[in-house]
Structure 1
Amino acid sequence: MRLTEVELRRVRLPLVTPFRTSRYTEDWKHALLVRLRTEEGVVGWGECVAMEVDVYSPETIDDAVKMLRGTLIPMVLEMESVTAEGAKEAFTRAEGHPMAKAALEMALLDAQLRLDHRSLAEYLGAKRTRVEAGVSVGIMPEKDLIDTVRRYLVEERYRRIKLKIEPGWDVEPVRLVRDTFGSRVPLQVDGNGAYKLDDAQHLAELDRYDLLMIEQPLAADDLDGHAKLARELTTPICLDEPITCTADAIEAIDRGAAAIINIKPGRVGGYLEAREIHRVCAERDVPVWVGGMVETGLGRWANVALAALPHFTLVGDLSASERFFTRDITPPVVVDRDGYIQVPDKPGIGVEPDPAALDEATEDVDQIDVPARVLATGHSR
């Protein structure tokens, strides 16, 4: 495969309602998209999940742009034959920046699989044609919480609820949801690193509510603390932010810090690495699920394809586009009346941006120069 065009596009979409976690509140979705074209005229799209500021990860959108322009895109253009697999191997020479790597890898996979007439789901090894939908509920006033959860469960048929929590907003909202909707509703919580090991006794109060898991209660760099906390709780601990590659997942499991792993393709460097983490967790009988980063339809549809792999046995953060956006930039992800999302089966990631919606959301377009020597030769070197 040879590239003839590469473009970085910044987009901004208003959220239907503000999304609040223990660490930040989002009113808008800011995203960086990668668009590339091959000599055959096939276009591939990728989405970078980095945020504008470093509240979730040290890698911001500006950091990703610098890495893509200065290192990763030139690296790919120097390859004699461009493939997503080859790019993943080449990217090991560049330290860090998993979100930038994941975005470019996604665009390469999209183009490559379109040329091969294969879907991302088939390529990754999907075994299902639809996946269960789960929704993440942000921190909000108690008076709004029950109405919000009722809408998701009763009207929109989501099959799992995740509550964002923080000190002072944890046991009581969980109790309210359990008392209102009963013990049969699959329920989990996410602390986004807001707690300390000294809070173990307080967090143990959540054990009585039969939660699926407590996700990321302590700081991302505190594996020892998570391992100690796991010994004090009966509710399983799930890790998110510390898992940036397969080696991280193995270490967290071996140290007893994680009974469950949240796999976010953008956080771990791409869908190829996400598939590898899925494999090693399956070998160790550690449950996994697909996490979300409020992606546009590009990343959201690709995550649905990943979630169709066989060892994703827990419901992921796979919600309809309308959960966050009045108008997505792609055909919307839709949850059916049974609470499932259909896995895309068209070549590549299976969708393309709607031109009008994309133009409306676009803030800036950066065309990357492809060297004339690349365009003039039959390969990229």
Structure 2
Amino acid sequence: MNIKKIRIHTISMPLKKPFVTHLQKVENREGMIIEVEDREGIIGLGEVVAFSTPWYTEETVRTCFHMLKDVLIPLLRRRPVSHPEELQKVFDTVRGNAMAKASMEMAVWDLYARQKEKPLWSVIGGTREKVLAGAVVGNATVEGMIAHTQELVDEGYERIKIKISKGSDIEVIRALRNEFPHLQLLADANSAYTLKDTEHLRNLDEFRLEMIEQPLGVDDLVEHAILQKELQTPICLDESIVTPHDMKSAIHLGSCGVVNIKLGRVGGYNAALDIYRLCQENGIRLWCGGMIEFGVSRAHNISLATLEGFSIPGDISSSLKYWDEDIIDTPIIASSGYVKRFDKSGIGVDLNQKRLKEVCENTEEYLL
């Protein structure tokens, strides 16, 4: 692929509204943008979606920077690739660190598609002209969550994910269901419960939720299988599915009916496509999750969600939902519950250099 250089931009932007779960309150989003440039000057873009602290996974922005600078870029320098699929073997020598790997994979896949002068969604086998869009409502007062949900419904979102935890679940869901009887609602628990809460979680069945996401431990498959047998509401796995092997185990155990694929969580496109195929072959429903991302990762999510199996609206909201101004030159716009795919080569967007300069805290460049 004739990669010549790699740039890492560390950026930071304030959210328009704080994003609150029982685990963390995020007011300022730090991240990194990766540029992979070939000898012809073509640039592919990736994004580190880890947070500043390890509340979602063990990775952080700082650990990803270390892994990119000291491990992954030197590996790529020693073992150049001719196709992005080869990155899986190159990076298999490094355990874990999925988000660092994913940022590099994103950029290399984007570069490859741009070199071929094709949209990335076409390269990976996508077909949809527009993808289903959903949005997330963080923990707040019941009144605040109803007001935020109404704003999103007015903007055209047809699926809303709400954050729940012990003491902030049934009352909130009942109020939202009464206010929005026909809205697709799903609940994200971020591992707030244990098997001791099975009877309590059964009470959620009456609200016709699309799913309850990751109710139990972040690395658990067995107890989710036990819980799923007790619930009518489908369980969706998020943090528990990090590798294709995890997905095979979940299928064997019957741990879930739905899977949320996040490129950052699983290490990039190679693993994501393997997990996607396993779900398709075994009747597991799919949707594309989000990480309060900047526009680069969101554009990658759109490419992934054009695959036919993504039948549930994903966390692919408009750029303006989180940011006064995103870092890409073409904002992502959700309308009537959909986001149109980009038909230019690669992920279809480039960096807004003016905005990047405003929010960039540091840039480092590495020659290959």
Q: TM-score, normalised by structure 1?
A: 0.94
Once the two structures are superposed, residues 3-39 of structure 1 have per-residue CA deviations (whole angstroms, 9 ceiling, x without a partner) of 2221111111110100011211100111111112110
Aligned partner of 2:105 in structure 1 is 105
Q: Does the alignment pair 1:117 with 2:117?
A: yes
Deviation of 1:147 (Å): 1.3
Once the two structures are superposed, residues 230-258 of structure 1 have per-residue CA deviations (whole angstroms, 9 ceiling, x without a partner) of 11111111110011111111111211211
Aligned partner of 1:364 in structure 2 is 362
Deviation of 1:93 (Å): 1.2
Aligned partner of 2:50 in structure 1 is 50
**Contact 1:3 1:77 survives alignment (8 Å):** no
Find the residue that maps to 1:15 and give its secondary structure: strand
Q: Does the alignment pair 1:212 with 2:227?
A: no
Instruction: Summarize the alignment of residues 237-252 of structure 1 with structure 2, pairs less than 5 Å apart.
Output: 237-252=235-250
Once residues 81 and 308 of structure 1 are traced to their aligned partners in structure 2, the CA distance between those partners, rounded to angstroms, is: 26
Q: Which runs of 5+ in 2 are unaligned?
A: none
Aligned partner of 1:180 in structure 2 is 179
Once the two structures are superposed, residues 260-308 of structure 1 have per-residue CA deviations (whole angstroms, 9 ceiling, x without a partner) of 1110011001022211211110000110110001110000011011111
Deviation of 1:85 (Å): 1.5
Aligned partner of 2:163 in structure 1 is 164
Instruction: Summarize the alignment of residues 59-70 of structure 1 with structure 2, pairs less than 5 Å apart.
Output: 59-70=59-70
Instruction: Summarize the alignment of residues 115-154 of structure 1 with structure 2, pairs less than 5 Å apart.
Output: 115-153=115-153
Match of 1:345 among 329, 343, 349: 343
Deviation of 1:136 (Å): 0.7
Q: Does the alignment pair 1:323 with 2:321?
A: yes
**Contact 1:76 1:82 survives alignment (8 Å):** no
Aligned partner of 1:37 in structure 2 is 37
Once residues 81 and 215 of structure 1 are traced to their aligned partners in structure 2, the CA distance between those partners, rounded to angstroms, is: 37
Instruction: Summarize the alignment of residues 296-307 of structure 1 with structure 2, pairs less than 5 Å apart.
Output: 296-307=294-305
Once residues 344 and 115 of structure 1 are traced to their aligned partners in structure 2, the CA distance between those partners, rounded to angstroms, is: 16
**Contact 1:200 1:229 survives alignment (8 Å):** yes
**Contact 1:102 1:270 survives alignment (8 Å):** yes
**Contact 1:188 1:213 survives alignment (8 Å):** yes
Taking only the aligned residue pairs, the percentage that are identical comes to 37
Once residues 361 and 66 of structure 1 are traced to their aligned partners in structure 2, the CA distance between those partners, rounded to angstroms, is: 21
* Structure 1 ranges of 4+ moved more than 4 A: none
Instruction: Summarize the alignment of residues 226-245 of structure 1 with structure 2, pairs less than 5 Å apart.
Output: 226-245=224-243
Tell me the number of residue pairs that the alignment of Structure 1 and Structure 2 aligns: 367
Deviation of 1:369 (Å): 4.2
Change beyond 3 A, Cα 1:64–1:82: farther
Find the residue that maps to 1:232 and give its secondary structure: coil
Change beyond 3 A, Cα 1:190–1:78: same
Once residues 343 and 272 of structure 1 are traced to their aligned partners in structure 2, the CA distance between those partners, rounded to angstroms, is: 21
Match of 2:272 among 271, 274, 289: 274
Q: TM-score, normalised by structure 2?
A: 0.97
Q: Match for 1:138: what amino acid?
A: G
Find the residue that maps to 1:228 and give its secondary structure: helix
Once the two structures are superposed, residues 137-185 of structure 1 have per-residue CA deviations (whole angstroms, 9 ceiling, x without a partner) of 10011221111111111x2010101110011100011000111111x21
Once residues 211 and 5 of structure 1 are traced to their aligned partners in structure 2, the CA distance between those partners, rounded to angstroms, is: 47
Once residues 247 and 22 of structure 2 are traced to their aligned partners in structure 1, the CA distance between those partners, rounded to angstroms, is: 24
Find the residue that maps to 2:6 and give its secondary structure: strand
Once residues 300 and 206 of structure 1 are traced to their aligned partners in structure 2, the CA distance between those partners, rounded to angstroms, is: 31
**RMSD over equivalenced CA pairs, Å:** 1.1
Once residues 278 and 246 of structure 1 are traced to their aligned partners in structure 2, the CA distance between those partners, rounded to angstroms, is: 9
